[in-house]
Amino acid sequence: MVPCGFSRAPFLPKEVGMASRPAPVPHPDEAAKQVALADLSGELLALLRPGGEVVDANSAWTELLDFEPGMGVDALRQRLHEDDRLAFEEARRTVLQGGDVHGQVVRFLAPDGRWLELEWSCRLLADHGLLAIRGRDVTEQRQLAREHDRRARHLEQVNDELREFAYVASHDLSEPLRMVTSYLDLVRRRYDEQLDDTGREFIHFAVDGAHRMRALIDDLLRYSRIGGALPDHAPVDLDALLRTVCQDLEETIGEAGATIEAAPLGTVVGDATMLGQLLQNLLVNAVKFRTAERAPHVTLGARRTGGTLVLEVSDNGIGIDATQLERIFQVFTRLHSRDEYDGTGIGLSICRRICERHGGTITARSVPGEGTTFVVTLRDEAVGA
Are 8 and 41 in contact, with CB atoms under 8 Å apart? yes
Residue 3: inside a domain:
no
Q: How far is CA 305 from CA 206, 310, 355, 376, 379, in A?
A: 51, 7, 17, 13, 10
pLDDT value for 239: 95
For residue 219, the surrounding DSSP H or E stretch is: helix 197-228
Same domain, 208 and 243: no
* Phi-psi map region of 153: left, alpha, beta (phi>0 left; psi -120 to 50 alpha): alpha
Ranges in the chain, pLDDT < 50? 1-28, 382-385
**Among 72, 103, 137, residue at a domain's last position:** 137
Residue 2: inside a domain:
no
Q: Report pLDDT digits (tens) over 98-144.
A: 888 888 898 988 888 889 999 988 888 877 888 888 888 899 999 99
Are 108 and 65 in contact, with CB atoms under 8 Å apart? yes
Same domain, 115 and 151: no
Same domain, 91 and 152: no
Residue 7: inside a domain:
no
Query: Cα–Cα distance between 206 and 307 in angstroms, integer?
Result: 51
Same domain, 272 and 380: yes
Query: Cα–Cα distance between 349 and 199 in angstroms, integer?
Result: 37
| Full residue range of the structural domain in which residue 19 is found | 13-137
**Among 229, 244, 262, residue at a domain's last position:** 229
Q: Report pLDDT digits (tens) over 155-175.
A: 877 777 676 766 666 667 777
Strands, E, within 88-245: which ranges? 101-109, 115-125, 130-137, 234-237
**Among 194, 229, 264, residue at a domain's last position:** 229
Query: Cα–Cα distance between 283 and 270 in angstroms, integer?
Result: 19
pLDDT value for 228: 60
pTM over 0.85: no
Same domain, 244 and 383: yes
State the CATH number of the domain containing residue 146. 1.10.287
- Rounded (10°) angle between helices 272-288 and 197-228: 140
Residue 68: inside a domain:
yes
Greatest alpha-carbon span in the chain: 111
pLDDT value for 296: 93
Same domain, 104 and 46: yes
Residues 6+ apart with CB under 8 A from 154: none
For residue 204, the surrounding DSSP H or E stretch is: helix 197-228
Same domain, 369 and 309: yes
Query: Cα–Cα distance between 146 and 84 in angstroms, integer?
Result: 19
Residue 57: name the closest of 35, 37, 27 by CA.
35
Same domain, 162 and 28: no
pLDDT value for 243: 94
Same domain, 93 and 120: yes
What does DSSP assign to residue 29?
H
Query: Cα–Cα distance between 218 and 90 in angstroms, integer?
Result: 60
What does DSSP assign to residue 383?
B
State the CATH number of the domain containing residue 71. 3.30.450.20
pLDDT value for 28: 45
Q: Give the chain's domain count.
A: 3
pLDDT value for 384: 43
pLDDT value for 285: 87
Same domain, 110 and 156: no
Are 321 and 195 in contact, with CB atoms under 8 Å apart? no
pLDDT value for 241: 94
